[in-house]
A and B are shown apart, each in its own frame.
Chain A
Amino acid sequence: MKVRTESGAVAFRNRDLVFYLTMISILWTVLFWLSAVLVPVAAVITQALFQDSQGGWRALLDPTVLSVVRLTLWQVFWSTLWSGTLGLLLGLWIGSFLANLPRSRAHALLVVPFGVPTSVVGIAWVTWLGRTGVFAYWGFHSEWIYSLKAVILAHVFLNVPWVAYLVSQARKDLPHSLLEAAKTLGADRKCQFRYVVWPHVSSVFWGACAQVSSLCTMSFSLVLGLGGGPPVQTLETEIYERLRYGLLDISGALACGVWELALTLVPWVLVLYFYSKHKKFNFNQPHKQVRRLRHHATLWGLGGFFVIPYLVIFNGQTPATLLRVVLDPDSRLQVLMALDVSVRLAVAASLGCVLTVVAALMTLNWLKKCKFKSLESIMNLLLKLPSGVSVLVLGLGVWIAYSRWVDPFEGSFLVVLGLQMTLFFPVAFRLLSPISESHSTLELEGAVLLGASRFQAFWIIEWPRWKGPLFASLAAVAGGGLGEVGAVSLFYSERLISMPLLLSRWMGQYRFAEAQAVGGLLLLLSFALMLIAFELGELGELGRLVPRRQVEVTL
């Protein structure tokens, strides 16, 4: 109903604007999810299962495909086992003293490796393990390079700090008074761990393991760079090879895609389950914030240990090599073109992704307001689904579903952008959804009653809560987009080559020095973006797929 007073008319117009914005958000969210997730995934499954008279089972059960599935599982098993075990031990140790420290920048070092572009990770490990690498120079000759061991080692180094970060956050959340209660009841250290600490961190730990196993299944450029081809062929590299490297074998790629979907979606369902079980405590007693040099030093040391392997790509020759690249017209042109593509992709993906997430959150809020509870839960779950789908499988789905409009061999910036937005959507969603869930309606109403306009109320009350996570999401997605290889690998053309792809190409052409030097630049850029993201937002949210249940320990 229209209110004729001046203030009433303003209120009406505001409501109108909000209504239209909400409707546009709902439409955009639904369209995005249908076109970028459902259609491609459905295309892969239906084409794989019903592509011939035998229902596609022949390709699925092809011995070559099955041997690749076995090797993928083997790789994932060992990578997850080592990452989980070491990450748990480290996380428990760090978490036990983290509660006494103010938020430490050293803690960010544990998150940073997660944002290192995988192509750079590959180059770094080749530099360490290669036949003329650092270890060989020191006299340790190993045959690890271009083998499964190298892939597992790289995965472990990449994932241990992440598991440790998540476990340490959970351990930090555990009220010290619960351990004190157990002590007064006679529990020794073993019993304290068994009955108090482990029940609290176990769901986070198992969730992190499921996450790691899924990520190791989806690992593409690392396996491509360190696996050495056929001896270490996982589902990802097999899909890539069947689409863009050897003979075009769509049927085989689809069979691998279905297997990959099964292997990545199951862990993500487990992740959702475990995180929904995790309980967060509300403290009623503040932590003692003690600046302890020993603890800070430990954190810096540990964080540094997991970052240093990647710094090996910088050496005394790096400036000279960079200068050579800059002075050589051909190399300079290649780098500038790749940089242009990467930066455009990163900026567009981060903006598009964050806007889509905001639209999705507005949709969820609308469902909540309308009390469509079950629809809201289903939507919430579906929006997190892209985390469990590999970008190569999504790309394959886009290839099949939109073949009338998209020719992968011509390259498509828009498709790569869409794939990257889909890939990083869950990252931004997890960073922003906690802000959307913690309403400040009362404060907003209070400000409006005190005479603030809607815009002023938003600017003063809502914006300070949103800006940190918003910029953190932009930085995290931009950092991820800079190093992303999978989407670009499927839809590249000679005019659409990003930095990571250029590095892989130079590695293939034995231009190691140039690849190292340019990889160094990419590494620095990614580090900077990850640190910005850590500073601005709580990156622990990345490991959390659903809001943690609050458990009141106060009376």
Chain B
Amino acid sequence: MKSIVSVQLMPLRVENFEKKMGSITLSAYFTVNVGERAVLLGKSGSGKTTLLRWIAGLDQRDFKGKVFAGDRDLTYLAPEFRNIGFVFQDANLFTSLTVMDNVTFGLRMRGVSRCVREAEGALWLEKVGLKGQSFSPVTQLSGGERQRVAFVRALIWRPQIVLLDEPFSALDPELRAALRRDLVEIHRLWPAPMLLVTHDEKDIEVLATSRLDLQWDPVSDQRKVVRSRARDDCDG
């Protein structure tokens, strides 16, 4: 059994990405640095989730382009070998497992011993105020608590990159605010390059250290990912 996994953080780089979406072509070329929280903004149906799923390796059909973690080419790797943490829109927790087992699932898959992963899990769960529910079934959690578990589950095993697909979309405004703070807090613990998909401007205000927009480029008749603003005050 291994102790906690240790990987070196590398920037996420997407090169020459292209995907035909009906009559429109979606294209992207961007980098997200270590400690950066990039927010990808775009209208519904503009291809944000498609791009995210391609980066994670969940959807590989009819795409062009390459994705790198530093110099490591991830393009042809299966999702389980990419070292990418993914937070889904609906938390996608494993209902047959407890909160602790969910949170430490990534560590378990990497052969980390039970006592090490539970100690680590307890530490992270304490950060998000869920230590008391460590061994409860996830079905007993509220919507906000489930999403917190999903955040921790995606980051605790130290992935090289973290992707979030509209993680706050189904929550009420108060809960969103609290969860945004939690996400920043959790990201401080592991400042991997983070790419978050959203269509909520508030997410940008609170979370984003940089902003990527999906915009239509009339010259090339393509919808392009454009880096429109950057901040230097990275929390990482």
A residues with a Cβ closer than 8 A to B are: 175, 177-178, 180-188, 191, 195-196, 199-200, 279, 284, 551, 553-555
Q: Does B143 contact A (CB under 8 A)?
A: yes
Q: In the complex, which residues of chain B have a beta carbon less than 8 angstroms from the beta carbon of A284?
A: 90
CA distance A186 to B83 in the complex (A): 7
A279 B105 Cβ-Cβ under 8 A? no
CB within 8 Å for A185 and B92 given contacts A551-B139, A555-B171: no
Closest to A200 in B: B96
B109 A187 Cβ-Cβ under 8 A? yes
CB within 8 Å for A186 and B91 given contacts A181-B86, A555-B147: no
Looking at the assembled complex, report how far the CB atom of B110 sits from the nearest CB atom of chain A, in whole angstroms.
6
B residues with a Cβ closer than 8 A to A are: 56-58, 78-86, 88, 90-97, 105-106, 109-110, 139, 143, 146-147, 153-154, 157, 170-171
A177 B90 Cβ-Cβ under 8 A? yes
CB within 8 Å for A187 and B80 given contacts A181-B88, A284-B90: yes
A186 B109 Cβ-Cβ under 8 A? yes
Q: In the complex, which residues of chain B have a beta carbon less than 8 angstroms from the beta carbon of A181?
A: 86, 88, 92, 94
CA distance A175 to B94 in the complex (A): 11
B92 A553 Cβ-Cβ under 8 A? yes
B95 A554 Cβ-Cβ under 8 A? no
Contact among A178, A183, A186 for B94, CB-based, below 8 A: A178
CA distance A471 to B32 in the complex (A): 60
CA distance A175 to B90 in the complex (A): 11
Looking at the assembled complex, report how far the CB atom of B154 sits from the nearest CB atom of chain A, in whole angstroms.
8
B58 A188 Cβ-Cβ under 8 A? no
Closest to A553 in B: B90
Contact among B79, B91, B146, B154 for A183, CB-based, below 8 A: B79
Given pairs A177-B92, A186-B80, 19 additional interface contacts (CB within 8 A): A178-B92, A178-B94, A180-B79, A180-B86, A183-B78, A183-B80, A184-B84, A184-B86, A184-B154, A185-B80, A185-B106, A185-B157, A186-B157, A187-B109, A195-B105, A279-B95, A553-B93, A555-B90, A555-B170
Closest to A281 in B: B95
Q: In the complex, which residues of chain A have a beta carbon less than 8 angstroms from the beta carbon of B85?
A: 184-185
A-B contact pairs, 9 of them (CB 8 A): A183-B57, A185-B85, A185-B157, A186-B109, A186-B157, A196-B94, A199-B94, A279-B95, A555-B143
Q: In the complex, which residues of chain A have a beta carbon less than 8 angstroms from the beta carbon of B109?
A: 185-188, 191
A186 B106 Cβ-Cβ under 8 A? yes
B96 A195 Cβ-Cβ under 8 A? yes
B146 A555 Cβ-Cβ under 8 A? yes
CA distance A183 to B83 in the complex (A): 10
Q: In the complex, which residues of chain B have a beta carbon less than 8 angstroms from the beta carbon of A195?
A: 94, 96-97, 105
A182 B56 Cβ-Cβ under 8 A? no
Looking at the assembled complex, report how far the CB atom of A222 sits from the nearest CB atom of chain B, in whole angstroms.
37
Contact among B81, B84, B94, B170 for A554, CB-based, below 8 A: B170
CB within 8 Å for A555 and B91 given contacts A185-B109, A186-B110, A200-B96: yes
Q: In the complex, which residues of chain A have a beta carbon less than 8 angstroms from the beta carbon of B58?
A: 180, 183-184
Q: In the complex, which residues of chain A have a beta carbon less than 8 angstroms from the beta carbon of B153?
A: 185
Residue of A184, A188, A555 most packed against chain B (CB within 10 A): A184
Looking at the assembled complex, report how far the CB atom of A2 sits from the nearest CB atom of chain B, in whole angstroms.
47
Looking at the assembled complex, report how far the CB atom of B168 sits from the nearest CB atom of chain A, in whole angstroms.
9
